[in-house]
Each structure stands twice: as structure tokens, then as C-alpha cells.
Structure 1
Amino acid sequence: MTYIEKTTLDREALVEKILQLKKERNAVILAHNYQVKEVQDIADFTGDSLELARKAANQDADVIVFCGVDFMAETAAILSPEKTVLLPAADANCPMAEMITAGELRVLKERFPDAEVVCYVNTSAEVKAESDICCTSSNAVKVVESLDADQVIFVPDRNLGSYVARFTDKEIMPWEGFCFVHDRITPEDVKTARQLHPDAEVLVHPECRSEVVDLADYVYSTSGMIEHVFKSSSKEFIIGTEVGILHRMKKDCPDKLCYPLSSNAVCITMKRTDLQKVYKALETLTPEVTVPEDVADRARLAIQRMLDL
């Protein structure tokens, strides 16, 4: 037996164990679009962070295994306080979410008392609790336009804030946070990719820098990218976000060719989850993610205000 054959058999056995434990625990497995392909393949649902948190809240399950990063599991715990939420990789953090704290946001609110606070879903529960409303990359413009205030404190992503500012007359005051995966994509990357694939459409995430957005054909959230590729009559696409999404695109749209805008667009914390950790989480019901009730109640208001839109 070759090493590859043995590895395949080991993986298949592990998958069987995971599926059996999932049944015994009455669990649902959620995987973000940026997860490694093996984890995506065993998930009940794949999607973006808020999409998955809403799925979790609507499932008749006792346990949610959230294969993503910390703020995503927190959001699921906020929306499903009666369920056990597990984050298989305890060290799977989001660097951008850590670029703003609740204390820093409180200082901003004191300096600009007439402003309303919009927090990107990529934030901690404590920051959500200090915010007026949450947003995602797909609804950020709609959220900002729904507000009465003329000044908007936008945390934590400066690039998404800059993108929103293109479509509103409100004064956007962005925090200087960023996603290191998207922020490192350059205009040169776009030009090189177009030279390699001249017939391909360029899709980028609004967490990219403005100069990259300017060169794109379309700007979408991860779910928006998948929907566009699925529905488009075009056959080739250059995808400007984390490379993990290409696996799902290949599965959902096998007749389309999707190329990474940058092979360096890899989120190392998203890749910390593997099959062994998913199995261990189901076996031990750890690491469990919980949010203090007072924080969760206030954060839920900001999330619900967005959902009500």
C-alpha cells in the first residue's frame, strides 16, 4: 500500500467517525468558504460568516461546530444562546477583529457623540455590543444609508469603509483596521492576472484597497462572488479573495474556470482547522465558545437591527 493510499484510507475512516459523532451529538457542521477543502467537504453548510450564523440559528441541532475563526463562533453563540457552539481550532483568531477593542470604540463615541457606529461583522462580541448596528461586506452600503446620523464611525476595516464612502453622502470615519489577506493584494497583481487570463472577469472583495477595487470588473462578498460565477454566462474568472473559495467554486460551478488573483491570498488562521480537530471537538465538546449574557444581549441588538433591514 502506497503512502497516498494509506492517507486516503485514514482520512475516510476519520470522516466516518466524524459523521457518526455528529449524529450522536445532534450536531451541525458549518464551514466558512476559506476553510481547507477537506473541512468544506464534510460540512453541512458552507458560506460566509453571517450566512452560517443564521443557518445555525435555524437548525434543529444541539451542537454547532463552527469551522472558521473566533468572531464567527461568537456570532453563532449570540444568535443561538441555547446551543453549544464549538470552535475546533481554539487559536483560530481574526487579526482584523483584534485591531479594534471595545475600549477604543468607547473613546471614539465620546469624541463624536452625534455619530452612529457601524461595526463590520468581523469584530468581537464586545465591539458589537458597543455598536449601533452591524454590517456585512454585502450590505454595508444599505446599512449606512439606513441610519439617521450624518456621521458614521465605521469599524474596523478602513478598506470596506472607503468602499462604502463611494456610495453615500454621509461622512464615513473609518478605523485603521484591515484584513491582511485582502490588503496585500496589489494593482500589479490585477494587471498580471489579466495578462495571464485576458478573457476572464475580475471579481474582488471590498476588503481590498481602493486602487485594486478600481481595476476590478465586479466587487462582491464571498457569497456574492459564488453567486455571480454560478449565474454568469462568462466562463473564466479571476477571484480576488482568499484562495479557499476556489474549492467551492470548482464544486458548484464545474464548467467554469476560476483563477486566484493572488496565490498569496491565504489566511493562515482559517487553515488551522482540520479533520482531526473537528473530530476532537465533537468527541470532547470543546473548545466551547460562550459570550457573557450582558454582552450577548447588547451585541444581539446590533445584529438584529441589521437583520431587520
Structure 2
Amino acid sequence: MEHNELKEKILELKEKLPVTLVAHYYQRDEVFELADITGDSLELARRCKADDKEWVVFCGVGFMGQSVKVIAPEKRVAMPKIACCAMARMIDSTYYDESVEFMEKAGIKKEDILPITYINSSAEVKAKVGEMGGMVCTSSNAYKIIEKGLASGKKILFIPDRCLGQNVANMMGLKSCVIGDGKDPNEADIICYDGFCSVHQLFTVDDVKFYRKRYPGIKIAVHPECDPAVVAVSDFCGSTSQLIKYVNELPEEQKVAVGTEYNLVHRMRDKNIYVLSSTKPECPTMNETTLEDVYRTLKEIEKGEVVNEIQVDEKTRKWAKVALERMFEL
């Protein structure tokens, strides 16, 4: 089916069915431009809850669809592709338990550990964190959530992104370590799990040096999933929504190189913007969803034969929601 014909059929089905099409910022343009709601992961989940349609067709990665189901269990959530965020896959229930055990073996009592999970994690992991008294954070509120957590006097176990955890520690003037790096966790305020975003690992200090040399006066803006060394030599570090705001508020003539996913960067501006990489930093899982997948999912809803409907068992949903609600309260 031709691109334009496929697009028209999707629009027709959207009008006909009780669905809201949702797309994360990192989705392909062809999918993104047809969405009713766009944004970053938590913003999407909250806006889906407020939406009045029966079905959410979520174009993103698996943990995002789960977040909608956790926050709004009354919604039916279908994903054209249940693509899996590589970072979220780096930690599961077993690895979480092993991380807690690592800290206990180092002499830190379980009751003195406060787990905080980045939203890029499965509902199962969020539930483990919720049961243990912990909470969820996003890249935009990680500083505030960790600051609140430290006020309890406990050690922070931060999962799964070591870079976000280390970058926040650096911003706060605190000590951090990564499980497996040989450092004593007793000497650290924030103990980070050794997970990372493969896309944001593509950006290097050499990339920053290259752009500063080529374009004197250029601004460098990066996501906190980038390596701490890259963040240290940048002009601005912020979440997806914060990066968009930062770039939009710069004078149009100001050159800026941005260290985050390609699809987002190339939609930010028409000129004087660069991707901070010698290669194309495109998230492979975010780019799995195609127009054909969206069309197929809408047809399945029409026929009542949905394949990729998101389900979360009640116990997992309960505790994952607790972890999310603790964040919302702040």
C-alpha cells in the first residue's frame, strides 16, 4: 500500500474508532505526525489517563505502554510494536534483588536502602521499588526526587541508568559509585546500577571538541543519559522537554549541537542546529513502529482481535502505581 493511501486509511480509522493515537518524541516522522498526543514518556501516560477514548494506541517502547496501564487501568492499551527499550531490559526482578544483596553484603542494611528507578524500567521493577518504599523518577525531576530521597538519611539505590544517577550526584556535589566498579558503596551517597542508554553513549567529549572548534560560540545541549564526561563539557543538560525549551529559547542565529535521539533533534529547528555525533544517533527500538504497524493495529481494534494489548497483573500494577504516585506527590 502506498504511503499516502496508508495515511488516509489510518486517518479514516481514527475517526471511526474510539481510539487515541499516541507517539513518543523519538518515533519516526511518518508516525509522529499522525498522533493525537505527543511527548515524553511520563507526559504521555498522564495525558492518556485524562483522555476520554476507550483505546490508547501507543507508539513507543514497552515500558511506556505499561505505564499507561498502571496509571489508568480502565484504559485498553494496544501497541503497534511492543518494542523494548534496551536500558529497561538491562534490569529485571532478579538483577534488582542482586543489587540489593550487593549493598547488604557491603554492610548496608536493607531498611537503610531507598530505591529509586528511572521511568525507563518495567512495571515489574517499578513494583519491586514500590514495595521497598521507593519511587520513580524521570530525567526532568531526578534531581528533586533524589534530593527528597536523601532527606530520609538512607542510601540511594538508583536504577537502571548509571549516567543519570552519576550526573545528578555531580550536580548535587555528592559521591556516587556504580555496582561492579570496585568502589565501596558505603562511601557513596548514590549507588548506581550499571545500565545505560546505547544511543546516548554515542556522544563523546571529542564530538563536543569538534563542534566547538568548527563553530566558535556554538552551544552544546545534552540529555542526562549522556556520559558524565560529556555533560561536564556541555552548556546545558536537560530532559527531552527541557532540551526542546532550551533550544526554542535560543536566538535563531545561535548555533547549537544537541546530544540526544536523532528524530527529536531534526524536528527542533530549521537551521543552525546539529546532531552532536559523527553517526546517526537513532534509537533502533523506537524506530521499529511503522505506518503499516499502526494501520494493522487499528484494523485489529475494528475487528475486536487485538494482538499486542498491554496487560499488567494486579499486584504488579498496585505497587508500580505506588512508586509512581510517590513521584507525583512531589
What is residue 187 of structure 1 aligned with on the other side?
Answer: 205
> Any residues of structure 2 matched to 1:107-186 within 5 Å, and which?
107-110=98-101, 111=104, 112=108, 113=110, 114-131=112-129, 132-147=134-149, 148-168=152-172, 169=174, 171-186=189-204
Task: Please give the alpha-carbon distance, in whole angstroms, between the structure 2 residues aligned to 1:123 and 1:296.
Answer: 13
Q: Find out whether 1:248 has 2:267 as its counterpart.
A: yes
Q: CA deviation at 1:19?
A: 1.5
The question of whether the paired residues in 2 share the 8 Å contact of 1:37 and 1:247 is answered with no
Q: CA deviation at 1:77?
A: 1.2
1:118-142 residue CA offsets vs partner (Å, 9 max, x unmatched):
0000000010001110000111010
Give unmatched runs, 5+ long, in structure 2: 176-188, 301-305
Q: Could you say if the C-alpha distance between residues 146 and 283 of structure 1 is closer, same or farther in structure 2, counting changes exceeding 3 Å? A: same
Q: CA deviation at 1:150?
A: 3.0
Task: Please give the alpha-carbon distance, in whole angstroms, between the structure 1 residues aligned to 2:18 and 2:113.
Answer: 44
TM-score (norm 1): 0.91
What is residue 98 of structure 1 aligned with on the other side?
Answer: 89
Match of 1:202, SS state, is strand
1:175-199 residue CA offsets vs partner (Å, 9 max, x unmatched):
0000011112211111112233334
1:83-136 residue CA offsets vs partner (Å, 9 max, x unmatched):
11111113x111111111112222333524111000000000010001110000
Match of 1:282, SS state, is helix
The question of whether the paired residues in 1 share the 8 Å contact of 2:258 and 2:274 is answered with yes
Q: Could you say if the C-alpha distance between residues 281 and 217 of structure 1 is closer, same or farther in structure 2, counting changes exceeding 3 Å? A: same
Match of 1:160, SS state, is helix
Task: Please give the alpha-carbon distance, in whole angstroms, between the structure 2 residues aligned to 1:36 and 1:77.
Answer: 23
> Any residues of structure 2 matched to 1:230-269 within 5 Å, and which?
230-233=248-251, 235-250=254-269, 254=270, 256-262=271-277, 263-269=279-285
Task: Please give the alpha-carbon distance, in whole angstroms, between the structure 1 residues aligned to 2:284 and 2:229.
Answer: 25
Q: CA deviation at 1:46?
A: 1.7
Give the percent of matched residue pairs that are identical in Structure 1 and Structure 2.
41
Task: Please give the alpha-carbon distance, in whole angstroms, between the structure 2 residues aligned to 1:268 and 1:79.
Answer: 27
Q: Find out whether 1:303 has 2:329 as its counterpart.
A: no
Task: Please give the alpha-carbon distance, in whole angstroms, between the structure 2 residues aligned to 1:178 and 1:245.
Answer: 19
Q: CA deviation at 1:286?
A: 3.2
What is residue 183 of structure 2 aligned with on the other side?
Answer: none
The residue identity in structure 1 corresponding to 2:328 is L
Aligned residues: 296
> Any residues of structure 2 matched to 1:204-219 within 5 Å, and which?
204-219=222-237
- Tell me how large the CA RMSD over aligned residues is: 1.6
Q: Find out whether 1:281 has 2:281 as its counterpart.
A: no
The question of whether the paired residues in 1 share the 8 Å contact of 2:99 and 2:193 is answered with no
Q: Find out whether 1:22 has 2:40 as its counterpart.
A: no
Match of 2:81, SS state, is coil
The question of whether the paired residues in 1 share the 8 Å contact of 2:156 and 2:191 is answered with yes
TM-score (norm 2): 0.86
Q: Could you say if the C-alpha distance between residues 247 and 22 of structure 1 is closer, same or farther in structure 2, counting changes exceeding 3 Å? A: farther
Task: Please give the alpha-carbon distance, in whole angstroms, between the structure 1 residues aligned to 2:211 and 2:154.
Answer: 39
Choose the corresponding residue for 2:81, options 80, 89, 94: 89
